[in-house]
Amino acid sequence: MTARPCEIIIRDCGVPPEQWPVVLHFAPKHIEVSLESFKVQRDGSSELVMDMFDAIMRRLSKIDNAANAKGHNPRKCHYFESDFVGSILAGSFNCKDQNIVDQLAGSHIKYNLPECQMLLFPALLGHRWVCYSWNLHINTITVLDPALADVPDGRAVRTHKHLVNMIKSAIQSAMAEAYYEWQYDWESGHVEVIRPPPCLWRGMNHSGFAVARFCSAFDGTMASVMNDNVSTSHAS
């Protein structure tokens, strides 16, 4: 088999094969996962890193694109990448930052985002993955936190509600820049928390897979959640 140009460059630079990228993607931003990193994440020795999780989200988006191309309209989800909420947590969110703009209206987006049913915001929070799913049809933000599998944690729920308020502010400013004609009541979104049963929660290193499964299965209804072995509870 003839080596691809990138393989020749990597090989000539003396990079060992286990550090060669097996995941490499460039839009909306560059992500890269080496073979060594891929293996330890796949077998659960390590939690999913941001690049790996974003690669999964891009794959889900590609699947939605294919369904949309076959006439399944409107598109169900818009998948944000992990650094969207990451920048909020870091206090560095800027709605005019090119990476943020590209996630909303980049050239790789071939659909009308305001027509989507849900916005999915995955985030690495406290060394575990969580997801904030905003159902635009009923203005409800559903929070999946795998760490709440055993018993509800009031402090964690308060943290989620606080972060949801930050996401509301960020998405409102970002949408005003990217889709200034779209009028939506971002501030009134209701919050509910979804937590998986103990059988799904196998430790911190598996939260990424639990959240990825949620992003793949959740369609805004409780039926889709229950089919994926996830139970619900409402935030007070």
Residue 28 binned pLDDT confidence (cut-offs 50, 70, 90): low
**Half-sphere exposure at residue 165, Cβ-oriented, CA atoms within 13 angstroms:** 5
Taking alpha carbons only, the member of 126, 119, 92, 232 closest to residue 178 is 119
Look up the CATH architecture of domain 46-233. Answer: 3-Layer(aba) Sandwich (3.40)
Neighbours of 52 (CB within 10 A): 21
Mean pLDDT calculated for residue range 81-101: 93
CB 28 within 8 A of CB 97: no
pLDDT digits (tens, 9 = 90+) for 160-194: 999 999 999 999 999 999 998 999 999 999 998 87
pTM (2 d.p.)? 0.80
Return the pLDDT at 50.
77
**Annotated domain spans of the chain:** 46-233
Q: Which residue has the tokens 């560059």?
A: 30
Return the pLDDT at 6.
45
Residue 148 binned pLDDT confidence (cut-offs 50, 70, 90): confident
Return the pLDDT at 7.
44
Longest dimension (CA), the chain: 60
Number of H helices, E strands in the chain: 8, 8
Locate 54 and state its tokens.
Answer: 């974003």
- Is 59's pLDDT higher than 60? yes
Residues in contact with 65: Cβ distance below 8 Å, sequence separation at least 6, in sequence order: 75, 110, 111
Locate 162 and state its tokens.
Answer: 């606080």
pLDDT digits (tens, 9 = 90+) for 150-159: 556 677 888 8
Q: Which residue has the tokens 């993955």?
A: 129
